[in-house]
Amino acid sequence: MKLTCIVFVVVCISCNSTPDRKSDEAAIIKLLEDESHFAAKGDSVQWAKCWIHSNDASFIYTTAEGVQSIKGFKPLAQAISKIEPFELKLKRDNYNYAIGNDIAFVSFDQQDNWDGVDRKTKETRTLQKVNGEWKTLHASVVDVSSFDQTQTASYHMPVNKIPKNPRNGFTNISGLGGMSVGYMDVPGPADFTPFFEGLPENMCSSPHWGYVIDGALKVRYPGGKEETITAGEVFYWPAPHTGVVEKNVKFIDISPDGKFIPVMDHLAKKVAASSK
């Protein structure tokens, strides 16, 4: 009789645990969907409801270029508030869960168009249950697309033959082994700063390598640092930065597609808005 009771209790617990787990999994998926779409819409108020408001909250983003991390809810919320709204296209699969009473871990594969670039990521979330609702405590995103070693055929072209982007007026070509190459012929005076408004720190968020053919330009960084690059010099400009041309300048620019294309798309929107 005693053994029968134990078996009965175990069976009952098993019967009840499955619905509870399914309910938790559904709630977690909804949380992930809400968090992503609120961020893409620029709805920082609703996005904030998906997270733990604590200094323990964190976000890590890993690409082939390195690792970016944000520690604490407030810095993370500030970063989210600077996102320019866009229509998010999102697909997730291969979910794996480890769910406890008030803590959970989930991993999944994702495809999206974040920053206007199609990408594939592998992501994890650490979640905590607060007053019966799951909230995000930690998010980790690995952009696996950035590690793809795309084989690009050799390429060469006179700089005056590089096509001009009709949306923003810049002369550049992308997709060369994951890099973009541009020929910039900028008449002065010109200040790029207004066109970067809306990007993080209101500055260009792409690094650049290149060579100044003729003229000169000033590059400014957060904190007031400023440098002038003149004809005959090679350069590397880490992000973020902005640029000012006092007279005229011609230079070759080389930048990673994943960072450069979103900036160019942002500039295109600014150019379109200024022409109205």
The DSSP line for the chain is: -HHHHHHHHHHHHHHHHHHHHHHHHHHHHHHHHHHHHHHHHT-HHHHHTTB--STT-EEEEEETTEEEEEESHHHHHHHHHTPPP----EEEEEEEEEE-SSEEEEEEEEEE-GGGS-EEEEEEEEEEEETTEEEEEEEEEEEGGGG-----------GGGSPB-TTT--BEEEEETTEEEEEEEEESSEE-HHHHBTBGGGSB-S-EEEEEEEEEEEEE-TTS-EEEEETT-EEEEPSSBEEEESSEEEEEEEEEHHHHHHHHHHHHHHHHHHT-
Residue (of 68, 75, 67) closest to 51 by Cα position? 75
The per-residue pLDDT for 3 is: 43
Q: Write out the residue range of the structural domain in which residue 91 sits.
A: 18-147
pTM of this structure: 0.57
The per-residue pLDDT for 200 is: 87
Mean pLDDT computed over every residue of the chain: 86
The per-residue pLDDT for 276 is: 64
The per-residue pLDDT for 96 is: 96
In terms of pLDDT, which residue wins out, 228 or 151?
Answer: 228
**Whether residue 182 sits in one domain with residue 258:** yes
234 lies in some domain:
yes
Residue (of 98, 100, 65, 58) closest to 79 by Cα position? 58
Q: Whats the size of the chain, residue-wise?
A: 276
212 lies in some domain:
yes
The per-residue pLDDT for 38 is: 94
**Whether residue 95 sits in one domain with residue 27:** yes
- The encoded tokens of residue 193 equal 């700063």
> What is the C-alpha separation between 129 and 95, in angstroms, rounded?
19
| Last residue in a domain, options 96, 125, 147 | 147
8 lies in some domain:
no
The per-residue pLDDT for 149 is: 54
pLDDT tier, 8 (very low <50, low <70, confident <90, very high otherwise): very low
CATH number, domain containing residue 64: 3.10.450.50
pLDDT tier, 107 (very low <50, low <70, confident <90, very high otherwise): very high
184 lies in some domain:
yes
In terms of pLDDT, which residue wins out, 99 or 174?
Answer: 99
32 lies in some domain:
yes
| Number of domains the chain contains | 2
The per-residue pLDDT for 124 is: 97
Q: Is the pLDDT of residue 115 over 80?
A: no
Nearest-Å Rg of the Cα atoms of the chain is: 24
Degrees (nearest 5) of the Cα angle 102, 23, 77? 55
pLDDT in tens, 152-176: 678 888 888 888 877 667 888 888 8
**Whether residue 165 sits in one domain with residue 132:** no
In terms of pLDDT, which residue wins out, 70 or 147?
Answer: 70
- Assess contact for 119 and 111: CB atoms under 8 A: yes
| Last residue in a domain, options 119, 147, 175 | 147
CATH number, domain containing residue 206: 2.60.120.10
pLDDT in tens, 202-253: 999 999 999 999 999 999 999 889 999 999 999 999 999 999 998 899 999 9
The per-residue pLDDT for 10 is: 36
**Whether residue 113 sits in one domain with residue 87:** yes
**Whether residue 34 sits in one domain with residue 124:** yes
> What is the C-alpha separation between 247 and 190, in angstroms, rounded?
8
**Whether residue 116 sits in one domain with residue 177:** no
pLDDT tier, 12 (very low <50, low <70, confident <90, very high otherwise): very low
In terms of pLDDT, which residue wins out, 104 or 64?
Answer: 104
Q: What is the mean pLDDT of residues 255-274?
A: 83
pLDDT tier, 42 (very low <50, low <70, confident <90, very high otherwise): confident
**Whether residue 254 sits in one domain with residue 230:** yes
Residue (of 113, 164, 182) closest to 143 by Cα position? 113
**Whether residue 69 sits in one domain with residue 184:** no
